[in-house]
Amino acid sequence: MVKRNACVFISGTGTNLKELLKSSREYNFPININYIISNTKKAEGLKIAKIYKIPFRVLNLNKIINLELALGELHKKNISVICLAGYMKILNKKFINRFNKKIINIHPSLLPKYKGLNTFKRVLNNNEKLTGCTVHYVNKKLDGGKIILKKKVFIESSDDEETLKAKVQVKEYRAYSESIINIFR
């Protein structure tokens, strides 16, 4: 199968990046990850980029010069999809307009509930019994793009932020790969 080229944007530990890289090594997975962008050189996920030998760049896309540089590279590398995986910056509207291909994100709640940050804390404070994760397209509204796939996680009374995050992340890994398969097949 001809695989599309993908770029993953990260800011942190990069466990979703790692799972996407593992999936992408399967012969019938529809994307190859051939570029990684991080907004910070402190992102742990850059170690994963090095281990997997994927070219990466650290860029602050709020600077117009970097935005142009990134768009140029993405074009040159023929990137068909950007996967945001724990990317903690809001994507510049200009960037979204100019990169006229798919941009997708994974969010740790059942959208449209709990957009934004600190989802686990807010979910627990509200005594929710159910949460999960959502893969969605990125548009100009924060966590507001069209939903691709959601996965549920049941909350137990013994759960705290840490245990809930661990449970949701396991679902995230499957949700992200399944979404990419759904999009491209």
Residue 12 in the binding site for ligand GRF (CB under 6 A): yes
75 given a catalytic annotation: no
Residues 6 or more apart whose Cβ sits within 8 Å of residue 42: none
Residue closer to ligand GRF (CB basis): 59 or 138: 138
**Site for ligand GRF contains 85 (CB under 6 A):** yes
How far is it, in rounded angstroms, from Cα 136 to Cα 146?
6
The CB-nearest residue to ligand GRF is: 86
Tell me if 132 contacts ligand GRF by CB under 6 A. no
Site residue total, ligand GRF (CB under 6 A):
15
What distance in Å separates the CA atoms of residue 165 and residue 171, rounded to the nearest whole number?
A: 10
In sequence order, the 6+-apart residues with CB closer than 8 A to the CB of 88 are 11, 12, 39
Selected range binding ligand GRF among 15-23, 65-73, 137-145, 149-157, rule: CB under 6 A: 15-23
Q: Which two tokens stand for residue 119?
A: 């989802």
Q: What residue spans of 89-159 are helical by DSSP H?
A: 93-98, 119-125
Give the footprint of ligand GRF on this chain (CB under 6 A): 12-17, 45, 85-86, 106-108, 133, 169, 172
The residues carrying an active-site annotation are 107
